[in-house]
Amino acid sequence: MTISRRMRLLGALTLLGAALLAGRSFLLKDWTMNETISLPPTYTVCVGRFLLDLPVSLELAGDVELYYGLDKNFRTVKVEVLRQSGATPTFEALVKKRQVELMSVKYPEAPSGNMLALSKSVGEKTMLIRAHDSSQLPGYFKSEIYREIGGAVVVFSGDVFKKDKPEDIEAKVLRVAERSQFLDLATTAPPMPGTCIGNVVINAGQDREDFTMMGGGSDQWPDVSMRFSSNSISNGSDGGLFKRLADKASMLDALGAHTDELRRSRPTFGGMPAQEILEKGIDHGKIFRSFTIESMPPKADFGSPSMQLNMSMGGQVDYEYRDATWSDREATMIWDAIIKSVRLRPGAL
């Protein structure tokens, strides 16, 4: 099962259970004060303008969309890190993989006969790939800049519409790539203004940022997965996590779903007021847990974005059902350590 499919399933279960607000029992009676819990070793991850510490076996991967213009004519540049650090896969191998992928899709009406419209070097370890967006939409392209930045390989992409001149869009995307730097979190790096996705910091004059990051467990914890989202676009709130789930309660009650709350609270998350729900339930006879926290900034901005973190354990994993790896207390202590570690990166603003 893919991480995204698994996250959608577990996210749905979170909504199902959290909406059942009445008649819940708190499942803390199995906790014992003399139980010794050893927290796993952690590493620091940079997402957006924030840092957080995660167990070493959980890796976040995803993308960010940078918004330029705040009116109806806004444009975006999407950024995805293909290699966080190291030497493999090589820059050349990643570029070649994309070229082969596009050339394997036939497009008889195109001059090339396939979906690859253009491929050329535009600088040292910097390659432009222009791809036809769809065989059904002639004149529409996806322009991608592949660039090696320090130990990372990153792809920056922008949409080219029929009315656009591709070279103009590609020049803008290239400027974003050129204004990106490698951030080595293992050393004391100098302050770098901008937003980061893993080891890459982008400071390219963007007006807003929208992140979607997902991570899966390892062989050690195959049932554990995480999802982190953050955006500085939303202005105002829909009432927050509690209200959204309460609004769905009557519909979800009819499905007969049931979870128990381990905790419902209003903590701080990255220095902002937040809402949090920790749940436990049974799925096909197996224990699962789903923990969610969401910030509630009065107005979203770079330093106070709308952020949500979800950690799920147990339930359906690779077409089978498994009990959650950790006990209630272990899971909560690991979760609390992650939440408390979320902080604004020095020099990010």
Q: Is the same domain home to 60 and 84? A: no
Provide mean pLDDT across the span 300-314.
Answer: 93
Binning pLDDT at 50, 70 and 90, where does residue 12 land? very low
**313 and 239 assigned to the same domain:** yes
Provide the domain count of the chain.
2
| Token digits of residue 209 | 């940022």
β-sheet bridge partners, residue 46: 51
Choice between 174 and 238, residue whose per-residue pLDDT is larger: 174
In a domain, 50, yes or no: yes
The per-residue pLDDT for 38 is 81
Q: How many alpha carbons lie under 13 Å from residue 31 in its C-beta half-sphere?
A: 13
User: Are 133 and 268 part of one and the same domain?
Assistant: no
pTM value is 0.83
Between the alpha carbon of residue 159 and those of residues 73, 77, 143, the distances in Å are 13, 8, 6
If asked whether residues 4 and 115 sit together in one domain, one would say no
Q: Is residue 103, in this structure, part of any structural domain at all?
A: yes
Domain of 92, CATH number, reads 3.30.310
The enclosing H or E element of 4 equals: helix 3-18
In this structure, the answer to whether residues 212 and 348 fall within a common structural domain is yes
In a domain, 191, yes or no: no
Q: Judge if 46 and 80 occupy the same domain.
A: no
Domain boundary among 179, 199, 220: 179
Domain boundary (179, 198, 219) is at: 179
Do residues 334 and 229 share a domain?
yes
- Does residue 199 form part of some domain? no
Look at residues 179, 196, 216 and tell me which one is the last residue of a structural domain: 179
Per-chain mean pLDDT for the chain: 85
Does residue 15 belong to any structural domain of this protein? yes
CATH code where residue 277 lies: 3.40.1000.10
Domain that includes residue 237, residue range: 1-65+207-349
- Are 214 and 348 members of one domain? yes
Asked whether residue 99 falls in the same domain as residue 219, the answer is no
Using an 8 Å Cβ cutoff, are 305 and 297 in contact?
A: yes
83 lies in the same domain as 169: yes
Q: What is the pLDDT of residues 197-232, one digit of tens each?
A: 989 999 999 999 998 888 877 778 999 999 999 999
Between residues 203 and 9, the one the model is more confident about: 203
Q: Are residues 98 and 173 in the same domain?
A: yes
Q: Hunting for tokens 């554990």 — which residue is that?
A: 224
Answer whether residue 186 is part of any domain. no
The one-character DSSP state at 271 is: T
Does residue 47 lie in a domain region? yes
The dihedral built from the CA positions of residue 190, 191, 192 and 198, taken in this order, carries a sign that is positive
Of the given ranges (75-89, 91-105, 211-225), which has the lowest mean pLDDT?
Answer: 211-225
In the prediction, which pLDDT does 127 show?
98
- Please give the pLDDT value at position 121: 98
Is 189 among the domain residues? no
Query: Does 328 lie in the same domain as 292?
Result: yes
